[in-house]
Structure 1
C-alpha cells in the first residue's frame, strides 16, 4: 500500500512539474538569445513569383518586405558556394549534369519556366535573371537580411566555406543553417557553433517523443529553429513521392500543437511552418502560434499579414 502511494505521489509530482515547466520553461532553461525574429520567410526567394534561388527572386522578396530569405547551397568543382536547390541540373536547367562536376563559369542558366514544388500545376515564368548566383552575391546584396541556409549535401568543404563566408560578411547573428540530415547539422554545429542550427529530421522525431512523454521541459536543446511542414501541403505538393517528405508530414501532424509552439518560443526557439501558399494555411499556422511562415508567394503572404494586422517583428 505504501509503495503504491509513493509511486502515485511521485508520478503526480512529475506530471505537475512537467506541466509547470511546459508553461514556464525559463524556470529551468535560460532563454536563447534572439538576434532576429522572422514572421515572413521567402522560400527559395519566392519560387512562385520569380525563378527560384535567383538574385531577382531575392531582391523582389526583400522589396516586398520579407523578414528572411530561405535558400539552398551546393559546391562547384572549383569550390565556389552556389545557391541552388538541386545537385543535378536536369530539372532547373535541362542539362543532366551535377553542379559538383562543373566549375562556376561552366554552369548553365535556368530554364525560362520552372514548376513550383509546393503548388501543384503552377509554373513560374522568369524574367531576364536566370543565373545561378553565388552565396557571396546574396550576402553582399542584402547585408541586413537574415538568411536561412539549407546545406544540401554532406560535404565538409561546403560546410567550411559557408561558415567562412558567414564570418567574412559578419553574418553569424543573421544566419541559420542545417539540413534534414543529423550528420550535416552536427558538422555545421562543430564547424561554427556561433551560427544557430535547425532541428534535423531525427531530432524532430526526438522532440516529438520528448513532448508526448512529458520530458521535453527537462531536456536542454542546442537548436534554435524548428522548421516543420504543414501536413495539409502533402496534397498540394509535387514532392509526395519522397519518403522523407511524407514521413515529415506525418510527424508534423503530431507536432501541430499550440502548447508546444508556445513552449519552444518561450525558450527562444523560433518555429517556422512551410511551405504555405494559401490564406487558409497562413491563418492556421499563425493561429497555432508559429513564429513565422515560409512561402513561395511573398506578395500573397505580405498582403495577408497586412489585412490581418500581423505586424513585422521589431
Structure 2
C-alpha cells in the first residue's frame, strides 16, 4: 500500500521504531530489512544533516551512543562519519555496519513506506535540511510512500510551504493546544502523541476529523494494550514480536 492507504487503514498500522531495533542496531540497513521481514507496515527512522550537508540516518546529534566514534555529526563530513562502526556496540555480528544515508535507505527499501522524522538544528540549517530531504525523496520517486514527521513544527511548516501534498505528521509530548489548530494550519495527515499521555477522547476526536493517530513509543505489552483500548491508528514500537502476540496482549 502507499502512505495514504496506511493513513486511512482500518487495521492497526505497525511502525518499526528505528527499524527492528530489538534485534539489530537501530537506524541501520540491517534493522530496516529485518523490520520488513518481520512484517512491519511502515518503518520509522531519523534523518539529520552531517556537516557537509549529507543526509544521514541517525537519532542522536553525536556518535557516542550508537557507534565507536565521538563528536557532533554536524561537525563532520559523511566520509568522516563512515569511518566509525555503527553495529558492533549492539552485537559483534553487526561489526562493520555503517550509518546509512537517506539515499541508501530509499534504494534498499524501494517499496516500503517510511516515517521519516526530521532531526533539526538552527533555523538556517533546518530549511536546508527540509530542501535536501524533499529533493532526495523526489529523486527516488518516493513521495507516495513517505510520511515526514517532527517535533519541530516549524520544520513541518517549511515542508508544507514547499510541497502541498506530501504526508506530514506532528510529534508531540502531552497535549496540543488548541487541539487541532496546528493540524489544520499545516494540513497534517497524522498526529503522533506519546504513549504516556495518550487520551482516548483526543484519539477519537482526531480520527473523526480525518487524522490518523500514531502513538509512540510502545515498549511494553501494557503500553500496547493502552494504545489498542484508546483506538489509535497505529503504534510506533521497538519490538515487532508484539505484532505476533497482539491478540494475547489485551
TM-score range, shorter chain: 0.7 to 0.9
> Which has more strand, going by share of residues?
2
* Ranges in structure 2 where 5+ consecutive residues have no aligned partner: none
Which of 192, 216, 223 in structure 2 is aligned with 1:274? 216
User: Cα distance, 1:82 vs. partner?
Assistant: 0.8
Tell which structure's C-alpha radius of gyration is larger: 1
Structure 1 position 158, deviation (Å): 1.4
Q: For this pair of structures, how many residues does the alignment match?
A: 236
1:69 to 35, 43, 46: 43
TM-score between both structures, scaled by the size of structure 2: 0.84
Kept after mapping to 1: 8 A contact 2:87/2:98 = no
Measured in 2, the distance between the counterparts of 1:86 and 1:204 equals 24
RMSD value, Cα: 2.7
Q: Indicate if the aligned counterparts of 1:82 and 1:132 stay in contact, CA closer than 8 A.
A: yes
Alignment partner of 1:36 is 2:3: no
User: Could you say if the C-alpha distance between residues 77 and 63 of structure 1 is closer, same or farther in structure 2, counting changes exceeding 3 Å?
Assistant: same
Q: Runs ≥4 in structure 1, deviation > 6 angstroms? A: none
TM-aligned CA deviation for residue 40 of structure 1: 0.5
Query: What residue in structure 2 maps to residue 205 of structure 1?
Result: 176
The aligned residue for residue 113 of structure 1 is: 89
Is 1:191 aligned to 2:162, yes or no?
A: yes
Q: What is the CA–CA distance in structure 2 between the aligned matches of 1:34 and 1:72, rounded to whole Å?
A: 20
Q: 1:54 to 1:281 in 2, by over 3 A?
A: same
Query: Corresponding residue for 1:301?
Result: 242
Aligned 8 A contact 1:178 1:188 in 2:
no
Who is 1:256 aligned against?
Answer: 199
- Residue equivalent to 1:127: 94
Q: CA deviation at 1:90?
A: 1.8
Aligned match of 2:151: 180
Q: Structure 1 regions of 5+ residues with no counterpart?
A: 1-32, 115-123, 211-215, 232-251
TM-score (norm 1): 0.68
Higher percent of residues as helix: 1
Aligned mate of 2:116, from 127, 130, 149: 149
Matched residue, 2:104: 137
Asked which structure has the greater RCO (Cα within 8 Å, sep 6+), the reply is 1
